[in-house]
Amino acid sequence: MEKKYYLGEFEETVLLVTASQNGEAYGLSITKVIEEELGRSVNMSSVHTALYRLEEKGFVKSDLGGASERRGGRRKRFFEVTQMGKAALMEAKTQRQYLWSKMPDYLFQGGES
């Protein structure tokens, strides 16, 4: 199976969170999800870096908006997954499922047998 898209592990996570937030994702919101829901400690700056790289690769697109008092009147950069991003996520998912499907049954049932 040929791999068309290259996604790092962290990039994949960020991309997944972005996709899950349905157009409302921005640097801090993604950081919060990763920290609070996935329980993984992460730097805000790493998330931003990942987002910009994803954007360079064409997996997300962005737009400015949603200024609020809490941000000192500054706008957020909202990220949205592109078709290519979706394709990349699909591919990653398919590859994993393929690998899971090849998994010998006894490997994860050893405790039971």
Sites of contact with other proteins (CB under 8 A): 26-28, 31, 43-46, 48-49, 52, 64, 67-68, 70-72, 74-77
Choice between 64 and 90, CB closer to other proteins? 64
Q: At closest approach, how far in Å is the CB of 15 from other proteins? A: 18
Choice between 66 and 99, CB closer to other proteins? 66
Q: At closest approach, how far in Å is the CB of 40 from other proteins? A: 16
Choice between 5 and 61, CB closer to other proteins? 61
Q: At closest approach, how far in Å is the CB of 5 from other proteins? A: 21
Nearest to 33 by CA among 13, 53, 48, 49: 13
